[in-house]
């Protein structure tokens, strides 16, 4: 396996997202960690990069330096991950795509829909990959759900019911803690809080699994803690372009729920249920049949699920390996492009710039509908209408 | 214990609801089954009554006969249960209340809101009990949830999330089966199908547990099986008079769900979760604490829960005993009235005519909002506005 | 349905077992509560009987009076339940059988194996039913397990793994509480504590479900609270006459377990798992298949399970209705005998005197093996060797 | 962080264990994969090593070459992992320890108890680390159980109940498949099959969590598939040197169980329950309290659990990261030794040669007791008696 060079922007010492990306990129040995601009403090970033084993000349002080340094090298990085504060995603992603790099951008890809459209156009024009890190789609059984829907096991999809509920922002006494407060402040977080932070994962997953895109939605957004401007709880009803009806509940005040990302899909001939907290089991009931437990790693699953499983059945696999599956998909996509061949279809599953754009449009639609007493609004970005 | 005389209208041979009521009334020995008009076929009803041990002269051919027969007796029935087809509930309930009987009416109490208001007025004017059989409120741990909210364990209630989802009407091939089809036909079922059949239980439970009434709601109703006129899936957002926000999902096409009646309540200082399929456990998480499992029958529960528990902890109690708790409440209420004393507050929990009325108003509101793209509408009956 | 007359000995005011029997006998209306000797205090017993609605002349002061009173009546009781302290079971059961009554005896049926053999001989000689209340066998899905094994779904049974673990006697500070202490005192409890109290239910269930009898066993018995003479924890390995291997763990010091009565059965072609705390689901995995959830009340179950289900799928049924199923079986057995016909085989499932006897032999075998470092001993009563 | 050099013996192309070790070693970046002898076919091994990025001169044809090659290098490997067929573990481990390398040996460490004692002596004499890969001890919540016991949360430990049951060898039609058959053949597998393969993990975990060593045991071993010489099911009762009583069930014919590695620990003041299939939750019940759910990653856990958690609460972590924790412990131990300091106690948790030896003694004891009708035998290796 030819190894690819990988670079990381952001993810400085003490961050949570940095180790997750480094682990995800390292697991399969497809990527060598070759370059980084890890901290907004240039010196701290350079020092941390060297500590992690980067060569001194590839441990950069900021992303501009990194862009200049890498574009000039014959062994330049094959993929750059953008894990910086949200407001900078657009600018950095744009610059690296323009310079011919493949990019994996943390969500949200941009702050506005217009920026999202620009990234999509740029990615298409340059032929460079722009992936967005909806990492939960990397779970083997989420991919198996998608495969089951695609091959028709459920018949026409009638209904998608998604949840992403936790209680980690339920403490009113902690609401002024800066670590929490910024999320509910439009000046810092934009037009949406809990939906943009968590709900969007569930909405993307609804599309990922059904193969349908969201067209219209109606949202009921509330701030259960009154001092908050943005919502800490939202219910979103939606419609998809293949005819599916959707319901999505997201909350950050649901005390007792830890990380309730759950997806149920109901079709004409069967129903599926999957929950992120126990990701190695998938509940499947065929019409007129009995509830069955599909185990990650069992024999006879779809190629998509087989490829995304690494350890034998009965041994839990968790979020870090779901993440790693996104990286493995990207390695395959990059290699296929280098080698002028089609990528393995079972690996061609990473979320695209188009998904990042659609998510931005959905977030704005939720905010708009939420302010208008739940009026149904178009959830599509203008370029896809 | 003075035994009370009990009569049943409906619940003929082969019905499901008849045995449930007879069992519920019999369990504690408070009621003796003394009279019945069990079938719309007079002869079949009389024969079945005698088979069940009724005296020949109290096994009536129809409810009119029963009303005449019982009102004249010194040992007349203390309570009559109305378990006939929905369209007849109002007429029979009204007649028995007017004649001075206490009534337990199956849901829906009436077909229209106006009729509901009439029953409420009549019950108040006569001083007779008119209870409505929202039987799930009889579960010990549902009553404990109510007690925990009432005594302030959760602080102010922010959010109620309710579900009642099953998949028993998901088979399009079976949709024309008369046993199923009538439920989705406005001529037979009225303005709502799945919400009126199942969702209303969850909505009532939201009020029962929080002690708050629904004021406004917005509904998204859909027919996943296109030949249906009435909804087989609905999402209802609502607001309550104590400030709580509500979300309620109900479905009859959720293949894989058997009887998903679930209630989550989130307040300022804790969250609760209960599911009807495992009714003997209640999940409680205090703010800043850990998820705990409250067991039905454990020491130190509320008086309401203690009274509603019959067997020791670890032995499951199911729906029939929840039902029986409603009957036991009624026995206490009737005896208290006879004896001129206040009823035991831990028993004063049976659903009232007012609840039946509020439910009718909510059903009409859901139907109205569902037709109007989810417009928010007043969910209160006119007399409570 | 001809109603049968039923009498109860023991179960005085405040007892737990009395209401359970009265409820179980009453649920289906097959038995009328006609006579009782409810308390060792004659006056209290008579008063409580009258309070429960017994006629004054059938509310007896003790079981001798009741035996004399009932044997003389034309409307004498058809079945008597013996729910007195353990040491009196033999004497009372014997007297009523000899007088021609059918008996349902609480477990343990006797204190010694010899007494057990005497009851078996007496029951056979008189043709009277002597049932023993292993009430957990009344659960619909336990009966379905038995039916699945009997019809060969699992092939030859290889292995039975049973548990009955709780933590309600784990508190050393409470060990001297008389309510707890007597159970571990040989003078009051006999040769075994936790195995005789709980483990024996699981052992009986292993036989009930597999249709095989225990032949030999080896026990490791320990007193985790050192002041106890009798065991509070035991592991029993056993062999059955159809070749099955058994393992059974029982404990009263397993803090965190409420009522862990669980049975797993593994055969050549499939495995089953059932747990009393969630009795409405049965987990079934056919060889080379997938784990499936069998729901109580689902279509197509065995006649034994159908008959034992009373409410629709998705509505939990609990212990009281399991208990009621034993009574319903007895009603059918008594009526069949009266009418000179064979009983419905789907109802012919109540535990017999033979089961009570085998249980006594197993308890003595556990005690013997436990004292002999787990030496394998014969677990059969002499008369069945 | 100074990176350490790591070598691997075994784990050739297509093996399951090779990727698991490479992932485990790579995750934290503490080890660089520097040398390997990956296949018993020298050429295949060299080619695979180069494919994985090893330098040509460190991709060896066999372990002898590797030993010679590495001992001579200044940048010699700091740790070698032995993942070869069981029969070769002793020889290779011995040779590398003698040459001054630290070793992580797959289980079983040796084939005989005598060899085990030799490895322990050698490890002590050379001061080299010899770790054994009981990888399930790397789970964060298993480590938290150990910490809770050590700090006294449970008081004196009374009882340990362990299980490791699966059904993957239950198919008699597949029993002659060579992939399965060798495991039950004494010529290839030694004195024990299922206990040595799976049960020993559970037994080691009982010691790991309680801090007590097994002293005596009694085993009931059976071959549910009659053609097998070695056991496919075993029940082991044991005693520990701190007074705890143990029960351990292991099976490979438990159809419906996937990977039932479960540990329950009961002490004077509380009980714990953990299951490998849902490793991110730990059930804890304090005496006189309520069952609580401890979540991996929650605030306030022990230092051992905190260090072993990598992603935030609610995101599942699985077996690969448990494995990685063993490697991270070893990196810390090696660095501490290099730097002449004590290792971080929260990292000093990897299983030792002593554990590998004790496991061998227990396996022989199970085999001996199993042949002798469950006679209690000493389970300790001679050098620890």
If phi > 0 it is left, if psi is from -120 to 50 it is alpha, else beta; for residue D205 that is alpha
Residue B1 has pLDDT above 50, yes or no: no
- Is the domain defined by B137-313+345-378 classed in CATH 3.30.360.10? yes
Task: Please judge whether D314 and A259 are an interchain contact, meaning their C-beta atoms are less than 8 angstroms apart.
Answer: yes
DSSP 8-state class, residue C108? P
Nearest CA in chain B to C280: B277
Residue A1 has pLDDT above 80, yes or no: no
Q: How far is D202 from chain C (nearest CA, A)?
A: 17
Q: How confident is the model over B163-210, as pLDDT tens digits?
A: 999 999 999 998 889 889 999 999 999 999 999 999 999 999 999 999
Which residue of B280, B284, B292 is the best one to mutate when testing the D interface, meaning the one whose CB has the most D CBs within 10 A?
B292
Q: Which residues of C touch B20 (CB under 8 A)?
A: 311
What spatial distance separates the first Cα and last Cα of chain B, rounded to whole Å? 42
Q: How confident is the model over C64-102, as pLDDT tens digits?
A: 999 999 999 999 999 999 999 999 999 999 999 999 999
Residue C46 has pLDDT above 90, yes or no: yes
- Over residues A308-319, the mean pLDDT reads 88
Q: Which residues contact B114 (CB under 8 A, 6 or more apart)?
A: none
Q: How confident is the model over A257-273, as pLDDT tens digits?
A: 998 899 999 999 999 99
pLDDT of residue B2: 52
pLDDT of residue B16: 83
Q: How confident is the model over A345-378, as pLDDT tens digits?
A: 999 999 999 999 999 999 999 999 999 999 999 9
Q: Which residues of A touch C293 (CB under 8 A)?
A: 290-293
At D236, give phi and psi (nearest 5°).
Answer: -125, 120
Q: Which CATH number fits domain D156-267+353-371: 3.90.105.10, 3.40.605.10, 3.30.360.10, 1.10.10.10?
A: 3.30.360.10
Q: How confident is the model over C11-27, as pLDDT tens digits?
A: 999 888 898 899 899 88
Task: Tell me how far CA of residue C193 lies from CA of B249, B279, C260, C262, C373, in angstroms.
Answer: 50, 31, 17, 19, 18
Pairing type for strands C260-267 and D79-83 reads unpaired
For the structural domain made of C137-312+353-378, what CATH number should be given?
3.30.360.10
Task: Please judge whether A290 and C293 are an interchain contact, meaning their C-beta atoms are less than 8 angstroms apart.
Answer: yes
At B208, give phi and psi (nearest 5°).
Answer: -60, -45
Nearest CA in chain B to C17: B311
Q: How confident is the model at residue C2 (pLDDT cuts 50, 70, 90)?
A: low
Q: How confident is the model over B20-60, as pLDDT tens digits?
A: 899 899 888 789 899 999 999 999 999 999 998 899 999 99
pLDDT of residue D1: 45
Task: Please judge whether B293 and D291 are an interchain contact, meaning their C-beta atoms are less than 8 angstroms apart.
Answer: yes
Q: Which residues contact D300 (CB under 8 A, 6 or more apart)?
A: none
Task: Tell me how far CA of residue C372 lies from CA of B271, C376, D218, in angstroms.
Answer: 52, 9, 13
Task: Please judge whether A316 and D279 are an interchain contact, meaning their C-beta atoms are less than 8 angstroms apart.
Answer: yes
Q: Which of C21, C25, C22, C36 is nearest to C3 (CA)?
A: C25
Q: Which of A30, C315, C215 is nearest to B198 (CA)?
A: C315
Which residue of C153, C173, C218, C256 is the best one to mutate when testing the D interface, meaning the one whose CB has the most D CBs within 10 A?
C256
Contacting D with CB below 8 Å, chain C residues are 158-159, 161, 167, 170-172, 218, 220, 222, 224, 233, 235, 237, 245, 247, 249, 251, 253-257, 264, 266-268, 270-273, 283-288, 291, 373-376
Mean pLDDT taken over chain B: 95
Q: Which residues contact C332 (CB under 8 A, 6 or more apart)?
A: C343, C344, C347, C348
Six-digit token string for D80: 């070698």
Task: Please judge whether C290 and A293 are an interchain contact, meaning their C-beta atoms are less than 8 angstroms apart.
Answer: yes
| Cα dihedral A123, A127, A133, A137 sign | positive
Q: Which CATH number fits domain A156-267+352-371: 3.30.360.10, 3.40.50.1100, 3.40.50.12780, 2.40.30.10?
A: 3.30.360.10
Q: Which residues of A touch D313 (CB under 8 A)?
A: 258-259
Nearest CA in chain B to A267: B255
Which residue of D256, D259, D284 is the best one to mutate when testing the C interface, meaning the one whose CB has the most C CBs within 10 A?
D256
- Over residues B85-111, the mean pLDDT reads 97
Q: Give the other-Cβ count within 10 Å of D150's Cβ.
A: 14
Name the residue among B29, B277, B310 with its Cβ closest to that of C320. Answer: B310
Cβ-Cβ contacts under 8 Å between B and C: the total is: 99
Helices (H), chain A: 17-26, 42-51, 63-71, 89-98, 113-126, 140-150, 178-181, 186-189, 194, 200-210, 303-307, 319-338, 353-371
Task: Please judge whether B316 and C318 are an interchain contact, meaning their C-beta atoms are less than 8 angstroms apart.
Answer: yes
Indicate the domain borders of chain A. 4-132, 156-267+352-371
Task: Please judge whether D258 and A313 are an interchain contact, meaning their C-beta atoms are less than 8 angstroms apart.
Answer: yes
Contacting B with CB below 8 Å, chain A residues are 158-159, 161, 165, 167, 170-172, 218, 220, 222, 224, 233, 235, 237, 245, 247, 249, 251, 253-257, 264, 266-268, 270-273, 283-288, 291, 373-376
* DSSP string of A167-188, one letter each residue: -TT--GGGTTSHHHHGGG-HHH
Contacting C with CB below 8 Å, chain A residues are 290-295, 298
Contacting B with CB below 8 Å, chain C residues are 1, 3, 16, 19-20, 22-23, 26-27, 29, 51-53, 166, 258-259, 276-280, 295, 310-321
At D273, give phi and psi (nearest 5°).
Answer: -145, 130
Q: Give the other-Cβ count within 10 Å of B368's Cβ.
A: 16
Six-digit token string for D169: 């060898």
Which residue of C284, C286, C292, C297 is the best one to mutate when testing the A interface, meaning the one whose CB has the most A CBs within 10 A?
C292
Which residue of C258, C262, C294, C310 is the best one to mutate when testing the B interface, meaning the one whose CB has the most B CBs within 10 A?
C258
Task: Please judge whether D290 and B293 are an interchain contact, meaning their C-beta atoms are less than 8 angstroms apart.
Answer: yes
Which residue of A13, A258, A298, A309 is the best one to mutate when testing the D interface, meaning the one whose CB has the most D CBs within 10 A?
A258
Contacting D with CB below 8 Å, chain A residues are 1, 3, 16, 19-20, 22-23, 26-27, 29, 51-53, 166, 258-259, 276-280, 295, 310-321
pLDDT of residue C84: 96
Q: How many angstroms separate the CA atoms of A115 and D147, rounded? A: 51
Residue % of chain B over a pLDDT of 90: 90
Q: How many angstroms separate the CA atoms of D380 and D385, rounded? A: 6
Task: Please judge whether B254 and A266 are an interchain contact, meaning their C-beta atoms are less than 8 angstroms apart.
Answer: yes
pLDDT of residue D3: 80
Q: How many angstroms separate the CA atoms of C140 and C162, rounded? A: 18
Name the residue among A20, A29, A315 with its Cβ closest to that of D319. Answer: A315
User: What is the ipTM, given to two decimal places?
Assistant: 0.95
Mean pLDDT taken over chain A: 95
Q: Give the other-Cβ count within 10 Å of D61's Cβ.
A: 18
Q: How far is D317 from chain A (nearest CA, A)?
A: 4
Task: Please judge whether B313 and C259 are an interchain contact, meaning their C-beta atoms are less than 8 angstroms apart.
Answer: yes
Pairing type for strands C233-240 and C157-165 reads unpaired
Q: Which residues of C touch D253 (CB under 8 A)?
A: 158-159, 266
Q: Which subunits count as partners of chain D given 3+ CB pairs below 8 Å? A: A, B, C
Say whether D156-267+353-371 and D4-132 share the same fold.
Answer: no
pTM of the entire predicted model: 0.96
Contacting A with CB below 8 Å, chain D residues are 1, 3, 16, 19-20, 22-23, 26-27, 29, 51-53, 166, 258-259, 276-280, 295, 310-321
Six-digit token string for C267: 């055969």
Q: Which CATH number fits domain C4-132: 3.50.50.60, 3.90.1140.10, 3.10.620.30, 3.40.50.720?
A: 3.40.50.720
Residue B261 has pLDDT above 80, yes or no: yes
Q: How confident is the model over C254-276, as pLDDT tens digits?
A: 999 998 899 999 999 999 999 99
Burial D28-56 (b: 16+ CB within 10 A, else e): bbbbbbbbbbbbeeeeebbbbbeebebee
Q: How confident is the model over C328-359, as pLDDT tens digits?
A: 999 999 999 999 999 999 999 999 999 999 99
CA–centroid distance for B166 within its chain: 18
Q: How many angstroms separate the CA atoms of B214 and A235, rounded? A: 17
Low-confidence ranges of chain D (pLDDT < 70): 1-2
Nearest CA in chain A to B264: A254
Name the residue among B268, B288, B374 with its Cβ closest to that of A218. Answer: B374
The CA-CA-CA angle for residues C22, C26, C32, to 5°, reads 95
Nearest CA in chain A to B156: A224
CA–centroid distance for B262 within its chain: 15
């Amino acid at each position: 396996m030819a190894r690819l060079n990988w670079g990381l922007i952001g993810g400085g010492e003490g961050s949570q997202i940095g180790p997750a990306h480094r682990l995800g990129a390292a697991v399969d040995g497809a990527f060598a960690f070759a370059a980084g601009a890890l901290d907004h403090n240039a010196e701290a970033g350079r020092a941390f990069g060297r500590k992690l084993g980067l060569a001194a000349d590839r441990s950069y002080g900021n992303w501009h330096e990194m862009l200049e340094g890498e574009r000039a090298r014959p062994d330049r990085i094959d993929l750059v991950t953008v894990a910086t504060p949200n407001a900078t995603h657009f600018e950095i992603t744009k610059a690296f795509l323009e310079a011919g790099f493949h990019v994996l951008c943390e969500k949200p890809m941009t702050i506005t829909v217009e920026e999202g459209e620009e990234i999509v156009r740029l990615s298409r024009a340059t032929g460079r990959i722009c992936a967005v890190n909806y990492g939960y789609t990397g779970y083997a059984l989420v991919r198996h759900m998608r495969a089951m829907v695609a091959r028709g096991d459920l018949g026409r999809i009638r209904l998608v019911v998604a949840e992403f509920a936790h209680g980690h922002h339920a403490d009113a006494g902690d609401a002024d803690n800066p670590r929490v407060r910024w999320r509910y402040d439009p000046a810092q977080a934009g037009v949406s809080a809990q939906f943009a932070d968590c709900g969007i994962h569930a909405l993307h997953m609804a599309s990922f699994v059904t193969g349908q895109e969201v067209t219209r939605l109606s949202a009921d957004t509330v701030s259960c803690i009154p001092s908050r401007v943005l919502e800490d709880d939202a219910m979103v009803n939606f419609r998809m372009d293949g005819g599916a009806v959707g319901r999505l509940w997201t909350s950050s005040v649901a005390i007792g729920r830890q990380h309730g990302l759950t997806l149920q899909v109901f079709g004409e001939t069967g129903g599926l249920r999957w929950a992120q907290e126990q990701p190695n089991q998938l509940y499947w009931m065929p019409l007129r049949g009995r509830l069955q437990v599909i185990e990650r790693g069992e024999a006879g699953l779809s190629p998509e699920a087989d490829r995304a499983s690494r350890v034998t059945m009965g041994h839990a696999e968790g979020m870090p390996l779901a993440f790693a599956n996104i990286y493995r998909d990207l390695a395959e996509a990059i290699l296929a492009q280098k080698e002028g061949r089609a990528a393995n279809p079972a690996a061609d599953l990473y979320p695209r710039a188009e998904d990042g754009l659609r998510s931005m449009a959905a977030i704005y639609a939720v905010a708009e509908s939420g302010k208008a007493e739940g009026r149904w609004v178009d959830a599509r970005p203008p370029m896809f209408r």
